[in-house]
Amino acid sequence: MAEHGDYLPGKEAALIDWLDNFVEKLQAHGTEWQIPPGEAAEVEALTTEFKVRRAKCAGPDRSKALVSEKDAVKEALIARVRTMVKFRFNNPIISDADRVSAGLHPRDRTRTPVPVPATRCLIADVKPLGGFRVEIRFQDEAAPESRAIPYGCNGALLNYAFGPEKEMDYDRLLHSALLTNNPWVLTLPPGAEGAFLSLACRWQNNKGELGPWSEIMYIAVS
């Protein structure tokens, strides 16, 4: 049976070790594995840039701006790696041993039952962006350093309401959206200006079964 945890480490130091190995394998076997050279070069370049920016953040000139720039590069790098793994590493020419050598899980060749989500999906941050938009960041309570959606889940089901008063009852959060990207930008109608946005979420698995609720959070819409 294949493993189902996230193949990318949550800690940055461990992530860099993983990336160095991944890039090394792309350099050595990319052509053999039919990985387009441009895609491999992009992952290598982003890895180098991430390491450089992380080193700057560890120095005496560390600032919020430097950390924000480093995090933006990291986010782009992780997205690029995940896209490559999804669309390139299912090629039958790449064996399970090749996948494991690159830091990935072997293919799952069993029909593993999808569990009902057992952990809470926590809303980590809600930030107003203006124009009736808010940015929502969420995380699993069991892996607070990761933005990954747990195995077997297709996203976080967000329930929300907006109005002159804060909603204290989950049953009154009548609007919903399935959050499949992290962060997620929610756009509200113009009538929501000046209202309170009340929101809570829970993981949803591929069969539509839901996990436990997060706490209800509130933010003023601008």
Give the tokens for residue 43: 């992952």
Does residue 110 surpass a pLDDT of 70? no
Domain locations along the chain: 12-101, 121-220
Beta-carbon contacts of 162 under 8 Å, excluding residues fewer than 6 positions away, are 175, 188, 192, 195, 196, 197, 198, 221
Q: What mean pLDDT comes out for the span 42-68?
A: 94
Does residue 128 surpass a pLDDT of 90? no
What is 121-220's CATH number, 2.60.40.10, 1.10.3720.10, 3.30.1180.20, 3.40.80.10?
2.60.40.10
CA dist 161 and 84 (Å) reads 37
Does residue 112 surpass a pLDDT of 70? no
CA dist 79 and 94 (Å) reads 21
Residue 134's H or E segment, with its range, is strand 133-140
CA dist 22 and 138 (Å) reads 27
CA dist 133 and 140 (Å) reads 23
CA dist 134 and 138 (Å) reads 13
CA distances from residue 175 to 100, 156, 171 in whole angstroms, order as listed: 42, 14, 10
DSSP 157-213: EEEEEEESS----GGG--EEEEE-SSSEEEE--GGGTTPEEEEEEEEEETTS-B-PP
pLDDT tens digits for range 148-202: 888 889 899 999 999 999 999 999 999 999 998 899 998 888 778 788 999 999 9
Does residue 144 surpass a pLDDT of 90? no
Arithmetic mean of pLDDT over the chain: 90
CA dist 39 and 23 (Å) reads 11
Q: What mean pLDDT comes out for the span 78-84?
A: 92
